[in-house]
Copies of this chain bind each other. A is one copy, B any other.
Amino acid sequence: MIFKRFYDEKLAQASYLIGCAVTKEAAVIDANRNLDQYLQAADEEGFNIVAVTETHIHADYVSGSRELAARTNARLFLSDEGDADWKYAFAHEPNVTLIRDNDTIRIGNLRLDVWATPGHTPEHLSFILTDEPASAEPLGAFTGDFVFVGDVGRPDLLERAAGFEGTMEAAARKLFHSIQRFKTLPDALMVWPAHGAGSACGKSLGGVPVSTLGYEKVANWALRVEDESSFATQVLAGQPEPPFYFKEMKRMNKMGPAFLSELPRFVRIAGSAAAQMPAGTRILDLRPVESFSAGHIPGSLHIPMGKGFPTWAGWFTPYDEPFYVLAANEADAQQAARDLASIGLDNLAGWFGLDALRAHGSPLSTLDRVSPSEAAQRVQSGKAELLDVRGATEVAERSLAGSRNIPVGFLLRDCDIDVDRPLVVHCAAGARAAIAASVLQRVGHEKVSCVAGTVDDLAVAGLPDKG
């Protein structure tokens, strides 16, 4: 058999291709929208993709399953577990087969046993792989957002991100039972989860890509807890706030994501056209903070390229309006377009190069970045208020006296800040503070600075901890 793991660093998301070496048939599990990677891998190995499936309706990225099945003429296996709220809206399409607990999918000589593993979501499935010619013992399990390396999928996401009120406690208990059943499998079973470190679908995912059930039994807190109630308490504690756009993702993936092949091409727009754009035009500026702070188009958001790019773009970009990116070169712009498509931000209307900065009619905005000592001085002298844009867990660990906390992602929607009052924004190390400052500038705050340094630097510079 062949086995390929595809890991998207920015989504912290894993998908898998497995194939039977005899029949040259292959399956893809939990495909994202970067379909070329699967098509090319299958081509290189001489396999045909005949089956596409996914563990559940994902909330953190747009699923590529539907389009991949269409482009390959493969059968699409979708979960039929969970109640009416969790049924795929495109399940009637002719290439779809609905699957439930105890079903079996065969790909040549490979066997995927379907297990219902609810908890993270009601319709969640896991797939236990047995390579029949090699051994009757299972080789591993595709666990999706059920069991990660070092953690389990959070059962509170539905309630917090998708608005299903009052479900998280029950979900936590379901998850506990799913785990107990999973633990009956052999220690040697490999665990192939859908996420790695950095995903918002769990809180403490490890940096090792795959693990074994035996190792997780001793090293993963969630498999060690024996009591249902204390498990529920623990698993619901300290979960980070899910991004707003998760709700949108969930909706797209349930209704059936648009096909990339039907979206319009993505092109450069001359900088000179930037001068004619109406005020308020949404522009994501992809450049590093040093460049953005030196000069940017007024109202544009600082969403720099890199690991966190899709997440920050998702927090701050409406799904129902056209928007633009500003990039230092075409390669960056094209990469951003792929990243934005991965979370369904399909309304990207074009990209601007650096000529847009030159051609822009009004003066460019700058962003005031200050050292921790300068920041401390301003705050202590009363010249500015301190805004902490970190998440609740971080704030709980250390927080500075007099600071107000609004997590960066909430600034655009929930923020009632006095735009005339000078602000100094800080985060853990400086990156989010700069993003936050650009968001505040966009909503009209003109006296905002951001700290280029850590919260500990600020403490060293003289700002006392909260009492």
Contacts and interface: CB of A to CB of B under 8 A. Distances in A.
B35 A267 contact: yes
Count of this chain's copies in the oligomeric assembly: 4
A73 interface: yes
Contacts of A265: 260-266
Nearest to A19: B207
A207 B1 contact: yes
A2 B211 CA distance: 13
Interface string A23-61: 000000000000110011011001011100000000000
A43 B358 CA distance: 9
B215 A50 contact: no
A419 interface: no
Contacts of A39: 268, 270, 353, 355
A447 to B, nearest CB: 17
A137 interface: yes
Nearest to A291: B290
Nearest to A208: B3
B190 A211 contact: yes
A219 B132 CA distance: 10
A1 B208 contact: yes
A270 B219 contact: no
Nearest to A262: B264
Interface string A268-296: 11111101100000000000101101100
Given A1-B206, A43-B353, A215 B290 contact: no
B3 A355 contact: no
Given A212-B190, A218-B137, A262-B264, A273 B73 contact: yes
A139 interface: yes
A272 B215 contact: no
14 contacts: A36-B330, A43-B271, A50-B272, A72-B270, A72-B273, A135-B215, A188-B215, A189-B215, A190-B210, A190-B211, A212-B214, A262-B264, A264-B265, A290-B293
